[in-house]
Amino acid sequence: MTRPEIRVEDLHKSFGGNHVLRGIDLEIAQGEVVCVIGPSGSGKSTLLRCVNLLEEPTGGRVFVGDTELTDPDVDIDAVRRRIGMVFQQFNLFPHLSVTENLTLPQRRVLRRDRATAARVAAENLARVGLSEKADAFPSSLSGGQQQRVAIARALAMGPEVMLFDEPTSALDPELVGDVLAVMRRLAEDGMTMMVVTHEMTFAREVADRVVFMDGGVIVEEGSPDRVIGDPRHERTRHFLSRLLDPAMAEVEEETPDQVGKAEA
C-alpha cells in the first residue's frame, strides 16, 4: 500500500467558542488527489491551513510523510518547504516581474544562486503555459494568469505536496478553465494534491477521492462517482442539489450559530 503523504489524526480547531474542526481523521496517499467540498463554514479551509500549520490546531496531530508537524520540536520552516500552497488570492509582489516573483523565494528560502533560480523559474513558467510572460508585471496579467504564476511559484520550490484553497473562486468564469487545466496536468504528473473547491466538474474528473465536510466533521468520503454521483447522506445531497442547481434552491432561515459565521 502507498504510504500516506498527509495524515491527520483527531484534529480539532477552535476559535474562541467556535469549535470549527471536531475530530478530523484523514489520510492522503502519495500521488493521490483529494478534493474537499462542503458549504461555507464547514471547516474546509481551516483543515487545509492546519495541514501546514498556518493555523495551529487546538488538538490532534498532523503528519507530512514521516514528520509530525504538530511536534513542538519540529523545524516547521523545513517541513513547509515540502508543501506548496496556493490561495484564493494570488499574493504576487506587484513591483516585481513574473520571473522575480518566482526567483525571490528560491533565493531567500532555498539559497539557490541567481542562475539556478532563474532556470527553475523558466521551467515552471513553461509548465503553466506562461513562458512569454516572464518579464511581465502582475498588473498586466489577467486573474487567471496571476493564479497560474502563483502555482508556478509554489512549484519552483520543489514541493512534495500541493494544497489549493479555492484557487478559482476569485476568477471570472472564463478564466477558470486555464487554471484547472494546469492542476489537471499536475495530477497526471503524480503530484499529491489536497484541493478545497466548489468546482464539481474538476472534482469528478480529476480527484481520486472526494471528502464532504459539514459542521466541522467529515460527513462522507469516497470516489467522485460515489460522493457526487450517488451521495449516501442527506446533508451531502442537500449541499450538492443547491450547488449543482442553484436556481431550484429555496431561501432558508439562518440558524443563530450561522449568523455572522465566517468561512472556516
Domains in the chain: how many in total?
Answer: 2
Structure confidence at residue 174 (pLDDT): 86
Q: Is 145 helix (H, G, I), strand (E, B) or coil?
A: helix
DSSP 8-class letter at 88: S
**Is 19 a member of any domain?**
yes
Structure confidence at residue 242 (pLDDT): 84
Same domain? 16 vs 141? no
Same domain? 227 vs 98? no
**Is 138 a member of any domain?**
yes
Residue 138 belongs to what domain range?
Answer: 93-159
Same domain? 98 vs 175? no
CATH number of 176's domain? 3.40.50.300
Structure confidence at residue 247 (pLDDT): 61
Same domain? 181 vs 62? yes
Give Cα separations from 43 to 37, 57, 109, 258 (angstroms).
10, 12, 30, 13
**Is 29 a member of any domain?**
yes
Same domain? 182 vs 219? yes
Q: Which of 101, 131, 159 is the last residue of a domain?
A: 159
Same domain? 76 vs 10? yes
Is 149 within 8 Å of 94 (Cβ atoms)? no
**Is 262 a member of any domain?**
no
Assigned C-alpha cell, 144 = 487567471
Same domain? 63 vs 176? yes
Same domain? 59 vs 177? yes
| Close Cβ partners of 159 (under 8 Å, ≥ 6 residues apart) | 81, 82, 83, 84
Same domain? 70 vs 34? yes
**Is 264 a member of any domain?**
no
Q: Are strands 209-214 and 33-37 parallel, antiparallel or unpaired?
A: parallel
Model confidence, pTM: 0.90
* Integer Cα distance of 64 and 37 in angstroms: 21
Rounded to a whole number of angstroms, the CA Rg of the chain reads: 19
Same domain? 179 vs 142? no
Q: Which ranges in the chain belong to alpha helices (H)?
A: 44-51, 76-80, 98-109, 114-127, 143-155, 173-188, 200-206, 224-227, 234-244
Structure confidence at residue 177 (pLDDT): 92
Q: Going residue by residue through the chain (264 aa), what tens digit of pLDDT does each one get?
A: 467 899 999 999 999 999 999 999 999 999 999 999 999 999 999 999 999 999 999 999 999 999 999 999 999 989 988 999 999 888 999 999 999 999 999 999 999 999 999 999 999 999 999 999 999 999 999 999 999 999 999 999 999 999 999 999 888 888 899 999 999 999 999 999 999 999 999 999 999 999 999 999 999 999 999 999 999 999 999 999 988 776 655 555 444 444 344 445
Is 35 within 8 Å of 198 (Cβ atoms)? no
Is 219 within 8 Å of 213 (Cβ atoms)? yes
Same domain? 108 vs 67? no
